[in-house]
Amino acid sequence: MNVTRELFSEVMVPNYNPAAMVPVRGEGSKVWDQDGNEYIDFAGGIAVNGLGHCHPELVSVLKDQGEKLWHLSNVFTNEPSLRLAKKLVDATFADKVYFANSGAEANEAALKLARRYALDHFGENKDQIISFKQGFHGRTFFTVTVGGQAAYSDGFGPKPGAVDHAVYNDLDSLKAIMSDKTCAVMMEPLQGEGGIISPTPEFVEGVRALCDQHNALLIFDEVQAGVGRTGELYAYMGLGVTPDILTTAKALGGGFPIGAMLTTDAIAASLKPGTHGSTYGGNPLACAVAEKVIDIINDRKLLDDVLRKEQLFRDGVNKINEKYHVFSEVRGKGLLLGCALNEDYKGRARDFLVASTEQKLMCLVAGANVVRFAPSLIIPDEDIAEGLRRFELAVAKVAGA
């Protein structure tokens, strides 16, 4: 069969518009297309490939588990899921873990748990969920409604109710809509899709205090920011604020689909048998791979090196910007970084993405005004340097230099 980009348009639902080139092989932070062209990967599958492509230890675990046990229903448990859950519990604030297949599913579970916990402890009137404008929590109808971007949630009929949105980094906007009817506040400890926005210490501490005041649960969506991305295993660890529920996915499986919701014993008790479930959640293949990911990434030396690499990116982008004057700032933390375009280039993030692809560099956007980097956490320094060289060529082209 002749597999080309044209075949995509022929057989796939048109909700995506992928690049013209078709990747066929990856190794580390490099990818090759059908014609043998080499690309440097600063996108990481949207913060998923935390250990790059085809990491030998992950490949080995996948092969080993693939010859043992692929799937069981949740009528049974399995060893990889129990080992992974124990490692997540030991490494975090949590006592209990629920496994799903994606970040959206982990968030769906978190939101349902928050509502059920409020019902169990405070009655049916405590049902308001608050999140933040420009937030992103997934594409199920519940999670896309909680996410604060109408462009993603409009046009599908009546939305789930009792969901409101405050302004990120604006405590007063949260205070104005929060009350004892609030059952949960959901936030990203570093906004991803919304433009790579870091929270101020005052804001994140204030959100925690308001949740305590109103007996509301604080849910941290760490789907993009978690698993080493900010230089901590989970971003909350660097903020001095502990959530009641945390969701994780993306880099957790290093490219293999898996998501998880972490919480405490007291809160988890509201998800009694039969209240929620997942056919594939906790399957042995995914959990075996994710266990190895946690083993590798939950290492202080690796996490510290993420922050060193962050500085290489910041220095490189700033050097490029001294020549071409296209960015107003570099935002983010660790290896989740956003190059925010200045007024002269407003709305043109996709132009930079397309130009980068032409220069054999894979990157991302975060909205119309931010070019996003979310590379492997172990990307070699020489790949950072070469990728930035290619990025400069792309910037030069867009800037007309």
Is 250 designated active site? yes
Tell me, what's the pLDDT at 105? 98
Has this prediction a pTM greater than 0.95? Answer: yes
* C-alpha distance from residue 125 to each of 115, 116, 121, 162, 179 (Å): 10, 12, 11, 10, 11
For 28-44, write each residue's pLDDT tens digit.
999 999 999 999 999 99
Q: Which of 41, 127, 221, 244 is flagged as catalytic?
A: 221
- Sorted by sequence, the CB contacts under 8 Å of residue 178 that are 6+ apart come out as 130, 166, 185, 210, 214, 216
Q: Which of 250, 292, 309, 333 is flagged as catalytic?
A: 250
Q: Which residues of the chain have pLDDT under 70?
A: 401
CATH of 57-297, one of 3.90.1150.10, 3.40.640.10, 1.20.1050.140, 3.40.50.720: 3.40.640.10
Q: Which of 136, 256, 327, 391 is flagged as catalytic?
A: 136
Strands 245-248 and 259-263: antiparallel
Where in the chain are the domains?
Answer: 5-54+300-399, 57-297
Question: Which of the 8 DSSP states describes residue 197?
Answer: B
Q: Tokens standing for 321?
A: 């910007």
Q: Which residues of 179-215 are buried (b: 16+ CB within 10 A; e: fewer)?
A: eeebbbbbbbbbbbbbbbbbbeeebbebbbebbeebe
**Cα separation of 328 and 345, whole Å?**
10
CATH number for the domain running over 5-54+300-399 = 3.90.1150.10
Tell me, what's the pLDDT at 258? 98
Radius of gyration, CA atoms only, the chain: 21
Tell me, what's the pLDDT at 401? 63
* C-alpha distance from residue 311 to each of 48, 52, 319, 379 (Å): 21, 19, 12, 13
